[in-house]
Amino acid sequence: MRLFRLAIIAVLLGSLLSIVRAHAQNASAPPSAPKLEHFDMNLVDKSLDPCQDFYQYACSKWNAANPIPADQVSWGTTSGLRYWNENILREAMEKATAQTSNRTDYEQKIGDYWAACMDESGIETAGTRDLKPELERIDQMKNKSELADEVAHIHRAVPGAWESDDNQTGAALLGFGQQQDFDDATKVVASIDQGGLGLPNRDFYVKDDAKSKEIRSQYEIHISKMLALSGESTQQATADAKTIIAIEAAMAQAQMDNVARRDPKNLNNKMSLEQVQALTPSFDWKHYIEAVEAPPSPPHYIVTSPQFFRGLEPLIQQHSVGDWKVYLRWHLVHASAPYLGKALVDENWNFYSHTLLGAKEQQPRWRRCVRAADRDLGMALGQAYVAAAFPPESKQRTVALVHDVEHALDQDITSLDWMQPATKEQAKIKLHAIEDKIGYPDHWRDYSSVKIMRASYLENVRQATAFEFYRQLAKIGKPVDRAEWGMTPPTINAYYDEQLNTINFPAGILQPPFFDSNLEDSVNYGAIGTIIGHEITHGFDDEGRKFDAQGNLRDWWTPADAKAYEQRGQCIADEYTQEIPEAGVKQNGRLTQGEDTADNGGLRLAMMALTSKFQAEDKSIDTKEADGWTPRQKFFLSYANSRCTEYRPELMRTIVLTNPHSIPKYRVNNVVSNMPEFQEAFSCKKGAPMVRANQCRVW
């Protein structure tokens, strides 16, 4: 499992959208020319009061002028960048489809991957041909002792089946992979994670409100339709869907919830293979490990959720081999659906994009192919992106910005009145040990062993899945590779890795409106500067603070400072435990505490860095400029502008229930209402909604 702490929801939906597959409409239609947004003060709605609702003040004009397209579930000022990035990748792949004799190995791979994905009529003609051998394998299971063997096979051969996503749902039965050891971050050990669900997380199975029940009943209908499309009779499919729901609901009950998983101590369960076996005696773990060809994991395996594997034991015992075949068939069909014909693609979209997220139409196929290629070959394809969109000057300017914001945290730590010198010293050691990774990796991944052909899209995805699975497993028992990147260069996101103690900014996010080389510092510090501050703060949020400078899970806090920290953290958790009327659900501030801490710290650190820059240049940050605005006002407006995003209500509900990030409006208003500097900048008076009575501050 990965311990990345990310910056943005929109792309984070990856964790949800990885189970959401869009479909083809008009394969030959050229993409409309995408437009990059540039921050513009004319977007401010001056008829509104910034002290009432700053998000509306900054965003209502833009949001009103840019409704969510029918095939999207959210739309914001940064969506144009996503389209822009996708176009660059599309062009690179289309160019490589010409089967000239001098194509490089790299061009052959991206060109043929693209051609196979876009070949809708070939995919339609093949139907479920490429699925059949897998369905037959499952059918041939004779008893439950073969379960481990079949799960191992599915993990190797079925797209996305081996790794649990952020919500621990994606993997069939369980997740298996590698991670750094919690207590010795230089070592890589095997990681065994909970998994097995088809809905976004355990809450979807255990909650009892009307909406949750309605979604479960739609899910059951969806499963039966998918099984029927894979060849079962309607009657059989209806009965099987009930079996699957029963198994998944029991798994959900056994899972650790997403708040408990935020405490790494809860995940740090070291076990020998014999101890793992004792959790689930009816699952042949030794055989599973052999069948996936994983190296041994000395001195231990990490089992993130022993309770889940204990809960699996009675479940395996109670259900017949026939029930387990049904369960595996569903996960096979579910994971393969996006790479098959229209009927399966449509039904998959209908539940995961329409019902769960609120999409009205399917995305054009080419966007779907770009996303899949970025996932499967992104560290090769990224080279084309960097060449087209990330000049060396962008890298230099970002490196300087990162240093400015890191320096701001250094100053912040020095000035804190609630932290004692001993802890401050440790905090600074950790801060100065953070490695900054900007743009793209130093070494490109070698995909030469991945076999890509025009004949079968599903087979290409299987090849890429197997490559990635074995690439991950090969790390077990070896020293950690600090240089590796967890995001591809075109990704519009950023992350902090708490076990590597690195911050990572792919070239994809170092573009307008986040980073705009033509605009002034106040605008850039407000947008990309706050994201840099956000990622740095993750090293010191309620989860990140538990890791030391080397990425080990080690307590470096004095008891008194830890207590003072927790009080401040509680203030944030209480503030964000709030009703979200637009979504019809309540936010759990304990789930979003880390991200909210990072948002608050990020904006403050970026503002401190900007202030220092103005001081060094002997300029005033609070003096009106020719356009009538002060640089500080522009800084806050640029921050809000970069967050202007509308969500469909279904998406919003799903995010609030599953995602550790707050909804954009609250990422703006809750943060600025904690800041006296904001209230001064816009002359807000005590009692106004943007002047919180009990202002929270951690960093």
Q: Tell me the helix, strand and coil percentages in the chain, rounded to 5.
A: 55, 5, 40
Q: What are phi and psi of 657, to 5 degrees?
A: -80, -20
User: Which of 412, 595 has the CB closer to Zn ion?
Assistant: 595
- How many Å apart are CA 500 and CA 550, to the nearest integer? 7
* Tokens 């394969």 sit on residue: 27
- How many Å apart are CA 548 and CA 509, to the nearest integer? 28
Q: Name which of residues 563 to 602 contact Zn ion (CB under 5 A).
A: 595, 598
Which listed range, 2-10, 95-103, 266-274, 390-398, lies at the site for Zn ion (CB under 5 A)? 2-10
User: Which of 8, 372 has the CB closer to Zn ion?
Assistant: 8
User: Which of 153, 661 has the CB closer to Zn ion?
Assistant: 661
Residues in a beta bridge with 367:
none
CB of 7 to Zn ion, least distance (A): 5
CB of 294 to Zn ion, least distance (A): 31
Asked if residues 156 and 171 have their Cβ atoms less than 8 Å apart, the reply is: no
CB of 535 to Zn ion, least distance (A): 7
Using rule CB under 5 A, residue 241 touches Zn ion: no
Q: Name which of residues 595 to 654 contact Zn ion (CB under 5 A).
A: 595, 598
User: Which of 163, 595 has the CB closer to Zn ion?
Assistant: 595
Question: What are the distances in angstroms from CA 2 to CA 83, 100, 181, 475, 485?
Answer: 27, 40, 11, 13, 12
Provide the mask over 438-467, with x wherever binding to Zn ion is found by CB under 5 A and - wherever it is not. Answer: ------------------------------
Q: Residue 386 corresponds to which tokens in the numbers above? A: 């960097």
User: Which of 323, 406 has the CB closer to Zn ion?
Assistant: 406
CB of 661 to Zn ion, least distance (A): 7
Q: Count residues binding Zn ion (CB under 5 A).
A: 5
Helix (H) or strand (E) segment spanning residue 531: helix 530-538
Asked if residues 386 and 508 have their Cβ atoms less than 8 Å apart, the reply is: no
CB of 11 to Zn ion, least distance (A): 12
3-state SS assignment for residue 337: helix
Handedness of CA 114, 120, 122, 124 (dihedral sign): positive
User: Which of 74, 600 has the CB closer to Zn ion?
Assistant: 600
* Tokens 């073969």 sit on residue: 146
Provide the mask over 5-24, with x wherever binding to Zn ion is found by CB under 5 A and - wherever it is not. Answer: xxx-----------------
CB of 504 to Zn ion, least distance (A): 12
CB of 494 to Zn ion, least distance (A): 8
Which listed range, 3-11, 129-137, 396-404, 563-571, lies at the site for Zn ion (CB under 5 A)? 3-11
User: Which of 1, 621 has the CB closer to Zn ion?
Assistant: 1
Determine the residue type at 510. L
CB of 542 to Zn ion, least distance (A): 12
CB of 5 to Zn ion, least distance (A): 5
Determine the residue type at 540. F
User: Which of 376, 497 has the CB closer to Zn ion?
Assistant: 497
Residues in a beta bridge with 438:
505
User: Which of 6, 681 has the CB closer to Zn ion?
Assistant: 6
Helix (H) or strand (E) segment spanning residue 333: helix 321-336
Question: Closest Cα partner for 347 from 161, 238, 223, 196?
Answer: 223
Q: Name which of residues 47 to 66 contact Zn ion (CB under 5 A).
A: none
Question: What are the distances in angstroms from CA 584 to CA 512, 581, 588, 643, 657?
Answer: 33, 5, 13, 21, 11
Within a 10 A sphere around the Cβ of 329, how many other Cβ atoms? 22
Bridge pairing between strands 188-194 and 174-180? antiparallel
User: Which of 600, 679 has the CB closer to Zn ion?
Assistant: 600
CB of 262 to Zn ion, least distance (A): 12
User: Which of 338, 660 has the CB closer to Zn ion?
Assistant: 660
User: Which of 575, 595 has the CB closer to Zn ion?
Assistant: 595
CB of 534 to Zn ion, least distance (A): 6
- How many Å apart are CA 220 and CA 211, to the nearest integer? 14
CB of 538 to Zn ion, least distance (A): 6
- How many Å apart are CA 546 and CA 501, to the nearest integer? 12
Q: Name which of residues 114 to 173 contact Zn ion (CB under 5 A).
A: none
Asked if residues 109 and 452 have their Cβ atoms less than 8 Å apart, the reply is: yes
How far, rounded to the nearest angstrom, does the alpha carbon of residue 341 sit from its chain's CA centroid? 27
Q: Name which of residues 190 to 229 contact Zn ion (CB under 5 A).
A: none
R_g over Cα of the chain: 25
Which residues of this protein are in contact with Zn ion, per CB under 5 A? 5-7, 595, 598
